[in-house]
Structure 1
Amino acid sequence: MSPEFTSLSQLLEHIAKTAKRRQRVSLDLVVREVGQRSFAPLLLLVGIILFSPLSGIPGVPTLMAILVLLVAVQLLLGRQHFWLPQWMLKRSVPERKLLKALDWLYGPARFIDRWLRPRLTFLVRRTGTYVIAAICAVIALALPAMEIIPFSATTAGLALTAFGLALVTHDGLLAVLAFVFTGLLVMMVLLGLLGLL
């Protein structure tokens, strides 16, 4: 049975505990540990990876984009258990790199957790969840292009983390903030693409 997370710190600590004493940590292991049946922890996991130094590894933003797109589409179609391809689940990172990224995130996570609480819950239940899933799918479609636009993948990670946290903690105000991050991301990508033309 998958654990229930009520804060960002809890999720980070759980991933760190899972990763310790392993040479490499696969996506399959982490997904199974955070809960393959729940959209919110998976979305939060992707956001954390993209916001952390791990997003600098070539191909990671695109891999995370595929993961978000697959899960978001399956949620919108009403599936209860998310299917993910084996080639994706077999991808792994060294334990040292993962733990270093988690250490980097602990401070901000504790600060953020102090401000989270259930509010404006209509934005993060039922219809709100489907709206968030649709927006996350759009972000996922744009993520491969973000590999060539500086800081855009990190901003996408911030938006996805905020959406995931909003769903985990039932904080609709955080969902509103995530919508703002998404708007900033859209402007950043458009300006970046115009700069490349």
Structure 2
Amino acid sequence: MNEQKEFQSLQELLKRIQKLSQEEENISVGEIIEMVGDRSYGPLLLIAGLATLAPIIGDIPGMPTVLGAIVFLFSVQLLFGKEHFWLPKVLLNRSISGKKLDKGIQWLESPARWIDKLLKPRLRMLVKDTAVYVIAFVCLMIASVMPIMEFVPFSANAAGAALTVFGLALIARDGLLLVLALILTVAIAVIIISVI
């Protein structure tokens, strides 16, 4: 697979995925990972988060569970120091309709423009070295409960929001965003526990 890819903005990442969605009838998880690069934890986390967050994609039955499994496997591998991420073929071959993916990306375009204006490197010491392992551990916990979230309305979308913010924090090297992601994760956990 490809080497580490650098994305300067959320819009750039979405445009690359949208190009794939317009070229093919069905897009597999493997094709998206190849486009992003199999060493890119931030962008992979961001894609999983955005897919779960977007109602057109994240509300497909079973999709939050699949995305949770992907985040879980990536997070475990990062915690064990793997340089390249690996997924079993059963997950790599999972696909989504190009039209649905394109609609989901269109839904995300306006928020992406707004988010890109807010992103900048801040409190960089919070997103270096050890912090990446903390993020991986928290995302591992989120991914672990995503299958259950399919039965609690909108909770999977909330998990997608948390994963998205963690991914953005890593890409932008934004420590302030990391703090916000941790607060959001705690808030989501409290809400879900109170609903259950």
TM-score between the two structures when normalised by the length of structure 2? 0.96
Q: Indicate the residue corresponding to 2:43 in structure 1.
A: 41
Question: Could you say which residue in structure 1 is the equivalent of 2:94?
Answer: 91
Question: Where do 5+ consecutive residues of structure 2 fail to align?
Answer: none
* Deviation for aligned residue 1:41: 0.8
- Which residue is 1:78 aligned to? 81
RMSD: 0.9
Partners in 2 of 1:42 and 1:92 — Cα distance?
16
Identity of aligned residues (%): 46
Which residue among 7, 10, 25 is the counterpart of 1:8?
10
In the TM superposition, 1:46-85 aligns within 5 A as 46-53=48-55, 54-85=57-88
**Deviation, structure 1 residue 36:** 1.2
Q: How many residues align?
A: 193
Partner SS for 2:75:
helix
CA deviations on 1:102-133 (whole Å, 9 max, x unpaired) are 00000000001101100111111101111000
Report if the CA contact (8 A) 2:5-2:40 is conserved.
Answer: no
Equivalence for 1:119: 122
Distance 1:89 1:82 in 2: 12
Gaps of 5+ in 1: none
The one-letter code of the counterpart of 1:38 is S
Q: In the aligned structure 1, how far is the partner of 2:24 from the partner of 2:4?
A: 21
Matched residue type, 1:100: K
1:184: how far off? 1.3
Q: SS state of the match for residue 27, structure 2?
A: strand
